[in-house]
Amino acid sequence: MGESGKKLKVAVLVTEYRYNSHADVILGRLLGDFAYCPRVEVVSMYTDQVPDGDMSREAADRCGIPVCPSIAEAIRADHSGGPVDGVIIIAEHGNYPKNEKGQILYPRRRFLEETLAALDELGRAVPIFSDKHLAYTYRDSRWMYDEMKARGIPFMGGSSIPYADLVPALDLGRARSMKMILVISNGGLECYGFHAMEVLQSIAEFREGGETGVRSVELIRGGQGEVWEAMDRGEWPEDLLLHALSVYPDLPQVHPRTSEPDPAMYRIEYADGTKAFIIQFKRLHEHWAFAFRDREGRIAASRYDNDLDRPFSHFERLTRAIETFFLTRRPPQPPERTLLTSGMISFAMDSLFAGKKLETPELMIQYAAHPVLEGEE
């Protein structure tokens, strides 16, 4: 509850709201779906597109919430007696063009620009949650981060995957002396590659001394066995791959090069010398796993046990974290993590397009990790 004892009022801005979309599993919960009891009140919605199977109009009618014709009107929320106390941006899914790098041009920066313009007019600086990465270019991501920071706006973003349980359970304090890490991922290079960056960073940021930034990024699509040939040359650690694979309970007992001849690979070099590798398979598994080696040579491995079908419990945990963020104005992880992972996936796509490793002085982003805020009301 807010200081007045009333629920905080929230505007939710989405690209589209359909079954199993991010709007469905986040906004739907805030409207009482999934047997969820929200702690904030959605008072207005904006939808950029209305696809076949749209759920927004029925939900709005059922809950007595207007679907506003503009973002500014959703934030002003005149129908509710005054402006909102928080904004949720879910610019994921929808019919948007792709650029030459294969990135979907979701309008995340436009949504934020219109949000900031409305808040500026009202003289307000309310918390903002923006789903997944900030934008498809680092330039836009940096602009978004800087504009919110300049206004003193509390910000939360990122992936839902790090909210899932680690199986087996793992004390991330063991990552303090980590020097090398490998993450197993799946799916599309940008949309799922971002989840992999968040998995990576949710562990890597626990290194002793905190996060000091990323020196270079490279993405190899695979093809002709290129990734496996690099492994044979010792360019990335097969032993970490095998340890990460060991946490999956149902994989066939064969080397993945047999079933996945052409995975993609991301290579990340951190400013402190730590090396990271993401092996992105097409169909091996739908959970994200990882293994890391510390300076003494010890290896730890685990996976994020995200639901693969409804009710997607990791999205329930994310939604709870969003509400706690609005109520406390403190994000569950530093916003610099979202800026860094946004830059990492953006430069990875640039690297693939350029066909070479990219030095990334722009990503010398420093921050200290802090734990997820649990149990705060």
The model's pLDDT over 113-132, given as tens digits with 9 standing for 90+, comes to: 999 999 999 999 999 999 99
Give how many domains the chain has, as a whole number. 2
Residues 152 and 178 in one domain: no
pLDDT at 1 over 70: no
Same-domain status, 138 and 190 = no
**Would 363 be classed as within a structural domain?**
no
Q: Is 192 found in the same domain as 111?
A: no
> What pTM, to 2 d.p., does this model score?
0.95
* H runs (alpha helix) in 186-312: 191-204, 226-232, 238-245, 256-259
Note whether residue 373 is domain-resident. no
Q: Which of 304, 331, 355 is the last residue of a domain?
A: 304
Phi, psi of 12 (to 5 degrees): -120, 120
Domain stop point among 107, 141, 158: 158
pLDDT at residue 2 is higher than 70: no
Does 122 share its domain with 245? no
Q: First CA to last CA across the chain, in angstroms?
A: 8
Q: What is the mean pLDDT of the chain?
A: 95
The token duo for 190 is: 């940008």
Distance CA 376, CA 374 (A): 6
Q: Does residue 112 surpass a pLDDT of 70? A: yes
What is the rounded distance in angstroms from the CA atom of residue 263 to the CA atom of residue 223? 8
Domain with residue 66: its CATH number is 3.40.50.720
331-341 pLDDT tens trace: 999 999 999 99
**48 lies in some domain:** yes
User: In this structure, are 265 and 211 located in the same domain?
Assistant: yes
pLDDT at 283: 86
Cβ partners under 8 Å of residue 199, min gap 6: 159, 161, 162, 183, 185, 288, 290, 304
- The pLDDT tens digits for 54-102 are 999 999 999 999 999 999 999 999 999 989 999 999 999 999 999 999 9
> pLDDT above 90 covers what percent of the chain?
91
> Which domain, by its residues, includes 253?
165-304
| 41 occurs within a structural domain | yes
pLDDT at 223 over 50: yes
3-class secondary structure, 251: coil
Asked whether residue 375 carries a pLDDT value surpassing 60, the answer given is no
